[in-house]
Amino acid sequence: MTRKCARCGAENLPEAKFCESCGFSMDAADVASGAPTRELSPRPGSLRDAIPFLTGGVDQAKARFDGWKQKKTRTETQKLREAHFEEQREMEEQQDRPKETFGRTVTRIVIGLLALALLIYIILRNPNLPPWMAQKMVNELLGRDYF
């Protein structure tokens, strides 16, 4: 008498705990099927006679390998997609930024030099003033952190 798998319908040996084709638990299969089935015995001289678990082993290994391969290609595809989105985001940020013009550059240099001159003036005027306090005074006067 054989046991039929509830998931794939394959016939298995009566003492099998798991389906030889798909690996499904045969205890769950007994609950699902109450009908008696015909007896299945291995052919004399076959590998199934010598190694009963060999029948579904190749199918299970192939299914596991295919699943692993799909998972690997999925992660590679996801990495490529994320890199592409990152490139697009960087390009959009570059386009959204205001272009650096000559006038803007000169203005930044002049403001920096004025802040430096103010710091030097404060330090020369008060030689006993700690440098961190002079920096704090310059930042408060200019309204921004320059140092």
Tens digits of pLDDT across the chain (147 residues): 778 888 888 888 888 888 877 778 887 644 445 554 444 566 666 666 566 555 566 667 777 787 777 777 777 888 888 889 999 998 888 777 777 788 888 998 998 899 888 888 887 888 888 888 878 887 887 776 665
Place of tokens 């295919």: 66
Q: CB neighbours of 32 closer than 8 A, spacing ≥ 6?
A: 6
The SS3 assignment for 33 reads coil
Tokens of 77: 């595809």
Q: CB neighbours of 40 closer than 8 A, spacing ≥ 6?
A: 2, 11, 12, 13
36/24 Cα distance (integer angstroms) = 19
Q: What does the pLDDT read at residue 48?
A: 61
